[in-house]
A and B are shown apart, each in its own frame.
Chain A
Amino acid sequence: MIKSTVILSLAAVLLIIINAKTTGRHMEGIRIGLKQMIGLIPMLLSAFVLAGMLEAVIPEGFVNQWLAREAGLKGILLGTVAGMFSAVGPYAFFPIAASIRASGAGLGTVVSLVVGWCLLGLSRLPYEAGLLGMKFSLMRMAVSMPICIIAGMAAHAVELLIM
């Protein structure tokens, strides 16, 4: 967590400098970010409670059999489907994904969960189908489904080989 904070802090400082030199609106950027964060506090707190409860309640046997590195393709498929049905925004999704990772899920499962949520998330379907048509949405999702599984398998291989 310290590593992430350091990287993000460096990115924030860099962006503030770039914004100050190019647009001169760096203070506005800080205000926009903080305002967004304050508005999301109730959502974030609910997500943390939900994630904590999930981490406590998910049985170790279930994790080992279905989500851990040893689960292999089963975990990847489950991750993809879970990502698809995680009809929430990033502020709620990532604490939940982190709790699943912390409970012992493998890298393949977590990556397929994140990619499944990115590409197949059903919460975006009404916007896409409404504005671009159901045919476009179904085609995009049909192409995206194997991508989630391939991404999960690639991450699983990375975990086996490197991590």
Chain B
Amino acid sequence: MKGAFAGIASAAIVLIPAVYIIGGTGLLLEGLHISKNSAMAAAPMLLVSFIVIGQLRVLISKEMLNKWLQNNKGIKGILVSALTGGLFPGGPYVYYPFIASFVEKEVPFSIFAAFIVGKQVYDFARIPMEMSFLGPGVTLVRNIITLPVPIIIGFLAKNINPEKLGGAFFTKKGGKL
């Protein structure tokens, strides 16, 4: 998180003098004015968004999701793992170690693919942020269009023969999947 903050802050620090060089004080003040107005307009939405995020984090436990992933196979497994991915809390440093822990449990490859893409595309805890900044219309269109993506990826993965693509997918742990 500190690295991401440093990256964003550095980009802002570099952009401020660049804006001044391009458009002088007028453009710089315009940029700051836009920033201030956006922050003021987004503040109440952000407050509510984080309350939603906090409630989701309490409501959905890793143990519950773990059970879902292990108890469902086949087509139902793909649907459940895509949904589980969307519900799974935390960033990549949390969900990749979680899903990697299933490599040795001989969980089908399609479950991994649907979970990871489900997390990336659905991520229900991220929807409040998306809606706050892009508005309900854009958020709705984006989510409807990408709704089938994790399931399609899961089905593609189910029908892929790893041997035709040079052997096991998980080179790190040498799994058979």
Main secondary structure on A side of the interface with B? helix
Which one, A12, A45, A135, contacts B48 given CB within 8 A? A12
Q: Which of A36, A131, A134 has the most CB of B within 10 A?
A: A131
Residues of B within 8 A of A110 (CB): 134, 138, 142
Binary interface encoding of chain A residues 100-135 relative to chain B, with 1 for a CB under 8 A from any of its CBs, else 0: 010000010011001100110101100110111111
- Which residue in chain A gives the minimum CB-CB distance to B56? A15
For window 66-108 of chain A, which residues contact chain B by CB distance below 8 Å? 87-92, 94-95, 97-99, 101, 107
Which one, A8, A48, A51, contacts B49 given CB within 8 A? A8
Binary interface encoding of chain B residues 80-108 relative to chain A, with 1 for a CB under 8 A from any of its CBs, else 0: 00000000000111001101100100000
The reply to whether A52 and B31 contact each other, CB–CB distance below 8 Å, is: yes
Does chain B have a CB within 8 A of A147?
A: yes
- Count A-B contacts at CB 8 Å: 265
Contacts known (A33-B52, A52-B38, A131-B172); A23 close to B58, Cβ less than 8 A: yes
Binary interface encoding of chain B residues 7-36 relative to chain A, with 1 for a CB under 8 A from any of its CBs, else 0: 111011001101100110001101111111
The reply to whether B57 and A51 contact each other, CB–CB distance below 8 Å, is: no
For window 1-48 of chain A, which residues contact chain B by CB distance below 8 Å? 1, 3-5, 7-9, 11-12, 15-16, 18-19, 22-23, 25-26, 28-34, 36-37, 39, 42-48
State the Cβ distance, B46 to closest chain A Cβ, in Å.
6
Contacts known (A46-B12, A92-B4, A133-B171); A111 close to B50, Cβ less than 8 A: no
Does chain B have a CB within 8 A of A160?
A: no
The distance in angstroms between the C-alpha atoms of A87 and B7, with both chains bound, is 9
The reply to whether B58 and A25 contact each other, CB–CB distance below 8 Å, is: yes
The reply to whether A34 and B34 contact each other, CB–CB distance below 8 Å, is: no
Which one, A49, A90, A128, A163, contacts B35 given CB within 8 A? A49
Which one, B33, B48, B126, contacts A90 given CB within 8 A? B126
For window 124-163 of chain A, which residues contact chain B by CB distance below 8 Å? 124, 127-128, 130-136, 139-140, 143-144, 147, 151, 154-155, 158, 163
- Which residue in chain A gives the minimum CB-CB distance to B148? A147
Residues of A within 8 A of B31 (CB): 49, 52-53, 55-57
Q: How many residues of B contact A (CB 8 A)?
A: 85
Does chain A have a CB within 8 A of B77?
A: no
Residues of A whose CB lies within 8 Å of any CB of B are: 1, 3-5, 7-9, 11-12, 15-16, 18-19, 22-23, 25-26, 28-34, 36-37, 39, 42-57, 87-92, 94-95, 97-99, 101, 107, 110-111, 114-115, 118-119, 121, 123-124, 127-128, 130-136, 139-140, 143-144, 147, 151, 154-155, 158, 163
Residues of B whose CB lies within 8 Å of any CB of A are: 1, 4-5, 7-9, 11-12, 15-16, 18-19, 22-23, 27-28, 30-36, 38-39, 41-42, 44-59, 91-93, 96-97, 99-100, 103, 112-113, 116-117, 120-121, 123, 126, 128-138, 141-142, 145-146, 149, 152-153, 156, 165-166, 169-173
17 A-B residue contacts at CB 8 Å?
Answer: A8-B128, A15-B52, A16-B51, A30-B55, A33-B53, A48-B39, A49-B16, A49-B32, A53-B12, A90-B130, A119-B117, A130-B172, A132-B112, A132-B170, A133-B173, A136-B169, A143-B153
